Amino acid sequence: MSGASMATGAPAAPAYRKVGSLRRERRWALIGAYAALAVFVVFFLLPPFHMLITSLKSSAEIADLSGNPWTVSRPTLENYWALLTHGSYPIHFRNSVIVTLCTVAITMLISIPAAFALARMRFWGSTVLATGVFLTYLVPETLLFIPLFQIIGGMGLYNNMWAMVLIYPTLTVPFCTWIMIGYFGSIPKELDEAALIDGANHFQMLWKIFIPVALPGILAATIFAFTVSWAQFLYPMAFLVSSDQMVLTTGIVSDLIRGDTFQWGMIMAGALLAALPPLLVYAFLMDYYIAGLTAGATKG
Amino acid sequence: MADGNTITARGIPAAIAPPRAGTLQRLARRRSTLAFLMTLPLLAVIGGLVVYPFFYAIELSMLNKRMTRFVGLDNYVFLLGRETFQLVIFQSVLFAVSAVIAKALIGFVLAHVLHTLPARGQRKWRGMLLVPWVIPPAISTLAWWWLFDPSYSAFNWLLAGIGAAPVPWLGDPGWARFAVILVNTWYGAPFFMIMYLAALKSVPDQLYEAAAIDGASAWQKLRYVTLPMMRNIISITVLFSLIVTFANFDIVRVLTNGGPQDRTHLFGTYAFQVGIQSGDIPLGAAVSLFMFPLLAIFAIFILRGVSRRTKEGL
């Protein structure tokens, strides 16, 4: 208020000074911004960093209470070597890969046609169904794991990793369908009309126009499905008990902790390797990853 | 236009008109049949593995432990009278509310800070700040578990460096509650950051210019331009995060497994302990169904926010 009245009172000089102060303000804001960012980057990256440091230590160095836990004096890869050559870690990794790949494939096969139908082919109940899909996405797995435990048991799939392939789509399909509806909906209707005039049927339209045009959206949905199935913890925890059926998220803990002996070096090495696939996907496809993340709320 | 149509429609010989309408109808019927077939797998997944289990859970929760007899609401009444379960309700609310507030504040600050940076630097910082969200929580919590280890805690080592006493991170109920909230905040804050950043970028610059011309201070710009423009996305994100945090399982299960003295149990972990580990399936189903009313209310509000967004977009 006072600044405005001053500016009208004395035209040139205060306005000039104000520009200078703005620039100074901006510089201080930038310095403050970098300081805040640095603090949070340290906070956010501390656990993975400590994970890496521990994974490079020998058991003796970890057990040595006089050492510095934040540095490694004699780095070794023996934890990684032991993990990959002995024990069932490679089996867990393989199971995780199989379950995740199958889930992603099933998710895409279900959600792409469904999203196409819901976005373009209005039919009785289609808007209700679209809303229902969104609500399903909001149902957390902690609400359903007990009845699913009974259902899986009844189907004879208890302690069978293929049960995961059956159940995981409940976590991925609703969200993927939802964001694909958004992406398909944003494709101009003129394209459909052009295709129809050229004599394309609905499948050709989906295959030759919608999928290529909405490819970024499909990629974002694929990444989402991949990260969700790779990270899932509750279902394997509840439904898988024997080591040869376990996936990474549950296998690391159950295999490397024997009673009171915690093999921390190997646990951290295993955790780091398990975190690597999503981190790599994220590093190389960050824009699609973020698009998938924000699409749920920004697309309608 | 309308007149022209009626005239041509009338002009068409009666013999041609009816079959044409018939084919059109058949086409429409075929199209909707096709659409229905395309959504059939989706319906099967939602119906068979979400809706049916939900009603099955209600049925299960009304049986006795051996699942042989219908006991009505006995399980619910039994749970409400049990002190451990009252602690679970308290801890779930405390955990969800405080973690979501912390995540929303940190996310808001970080989004603002990132937004002030020049575009080139932004990418790099954003990339680093999103890492906690990318690592599967069950995996990253292992690192936290190790950081909180009673004898080898790297945090306590740092505290000892400045002469402070070691903290019983997971051994003391108060600290354990703090620890699970801290880890959840660490994991979820980047999500808020990225959502708010996307929202900030969608606020038109002209609004800030207009506010600057009107002599608005930075605080006033935040209060009267940024917040109203972001209100919807803030509420959607907060409600969504309340659902996810309230229903959390991974972090508590790995870090404390509900201990010490059941003080950190959430609905999810307690349902797991009761239903799967102790084998009382009906009681476990009742525990997780207690979450439902609250989740349903949040979900309805989210849906309202999202549909309002869609309408504004159109």
| Contacts of the segment B6-12: beta carbons below 8 A, 24+ positions apart | none
- In this prediction, residue B312 carries a pLDDT of 63
Please tell me the distance in Å from B306's CA to the nearest CA on chain A: 6
- In this prediction, residue A54 carries a pLDDT of 93
Residues A280, A191: one domain?
A: yes
Residues A97, A190: one domain?
A: yes
Amino acid identity of residue B151, one-letter, is S
Give SS3 for B308.
Answer: helix
For chain A, which residues score pLDDT lower than 70?
1-22, 258-260, 296-300
DSSP state of B135: S
Distances (CA, A) of A298 to A18, A210, A248, B61, B275: 37, 21, 33, 37, 38
> pLDDT tens-digit profile of B245-278?
999 999 999 999 887 888 999 999 999 999 999 9
What's the distance, CA B51 to chain centroid? 19
Decide if A271 and B140 are in contact by the 8 Å CB cutoff. yes
Mean residue pLDDT of chain B comes to 86
Instruction: Please report the ipTM that was assigned to this predicted complex.
Output: 0.87
Please tell me the distance in Å from A49's CA to the nearest CA on chain B: 9
- In this prediction, residue A22 carries a pLDDT of 67
Residues A86, A51: one domain?
A: no
Residues B18, B141: one domain?
A: no
Residues A38, A118: one domain?
A: no
Residues B22, B156: one domain?
A: no
User: Which CATH number belongs to the domain containing residue A291 in this structure?
Assistant: 1.10.3720.10
pLDDT at B18 > cutoff 80: no
Residue A73, in any domain of the structure = no
Decide if A271 and B142 are in contact by the 8 Å CB cutoff. yes
Residue A71, in any domain of the structure = no
**CA R_g for chain B:** 27
DSSP state of B166: P
DSSP state of B49: I
User: Which CATH number belongs to the domain containing residue B301 in this structure?
Assistant: 1.10.3720.10
Distances (CA, A) of A64 to A46, A58, A259, B2, B156: 21, 10, 21, 90, 15
Could you say which of B42, B202, B284 has the minimum Cβ distance to residue A110?
B42
Residues B38, B167: one domain?
A: no
Decide if B276 and A141 are in contact by the 8 Å CB cutoff. no
Could you say which of A1, A114, A150 has the minimum Cβ distance to residue B42?
A114
Residues B157, B262: one domain?
A: yes
Residue B67, in any domain of the structure = no
pLDDT at B303 > cutoff 60: yes
- Greatest extent of chain A over all pairs of C-alpha atoms, in Å: 85
Residues B42, B94: one domain?
A: no
Residues A16, A133: one domain?
A: no
Decide if B295 and A62 are in contact by the 8 Å CB cutoff. no
> Chain A contacts of B114, Cβ < 8 Å?
33, 37
Could you say which of A111, A146, A293 has the minimum Cβ distance to residue B285?
A146
Decide if A140 and B267 are in contact by the 8 Å CB cutoff. no
Decide if A170 and B116 are in contact by the 8 Å CB cutoff. no
Domain region containing B229: 83-313
Residues B173, B228: one domain?
A: yes
Q: Is B140 on the interface with A (CB under 8 A)?
A: yes
Residues A105, A254: one domain?
A: yes
- In this prediction, residue B165 carries a pLDDT of 87
Residues B17, B135: one domain?
A: no
Residue A261 backbone phi and psi in degrees, to 5: -90, 115
Residues A36, A100: one domain?
A: no
Residue A92, in any domain of the structure = yes
Quickly list DSSP for chain A: -HHHHHHHHS-HHHHHHHHHHHHHHHHHHHHHHHHHHHHHHHHHHHHHHHHHHHHTS-HHHHH-TTS-TTS-SS---HHHHHHHHSTTHHHHHHHHHHHHHHHHHHHHHHHHHHHHHHHH---TTHHHHHHHHHHHHT--HHHHHHHHHHHHHHTT-TT-THHHHHHTHHHHHHHHHHHHHHHHHTS-HHHHHHHHHTT--HHHHIIIIIHHHTHHHHHHHHHHHHHHHHH--HHHHHH--SGGG--HHHHHHHHHEETTEE-HHHHHHHHHHHHHHHHHHHHHSHHHHHHHHHHHHH--
Residues B182, B279: one domain?
A: yes
- In this prediction, residue B44 carries a pLDDT of 94
- In this prediction, residue A273 carries a pLDDT of 94
Residues B12, B147: one domain?
A: no
> pLDDT tens-digit profile of A105-149?
999 999 999 999 998 887 778 888 888 998 998 899 999 999 999
Residue A60, in any domain of the structure = no
Residues A45, A132: one domain?
A: no
In chain B, the number of structural domains is: 2
Helix (H) or strand (E) holding B20: helix B17-46
Residues A169, A294: one domain?
A: yes
Please tell me the distance in Å from B7's CA to the nearest CA on chain A: 26
pLDDT at B202 > cutoff 80: yes
Residues A171, A32: one domain?
A: no
Residue A282, in any domain of the structure = yes
Residues A113, A207: one domain?
A: yes
Residues A284, A211: one domain?
A: yes
DSSP state of B70: B
Residues B34, B95: one domain?
A: no
Is the distance from CB of A249 to CB of A128 less than 8 angstroms?
A: no
Q: Is A159 on the interface with B (CB under 8 A)?
A: no
In chain A, the number of structural domains is: 2
Could you say which of B35, B138, B233 has the minimum Cβ distance to residue A121?
B35
> pLDDT tens-digit profile of B82-129?
999 999 999 999 999 999 999 999 999 999 999 888 888 888 899 999
- In this prediction, residue A169 carries a pLDDT of 95
Domain region containing A31: 2-55
Q: Is B156 on the interface with A (CB under 8 A)?
A: no
Residue B66, in any domain of the structure = no
Residue B70, in any domain of the structure = no
Q: Which two tokens stand for residue B177?
A: 């509650």
Residue B77, in any domain of the structure = no
Residue B74, in any domain of the structure = no
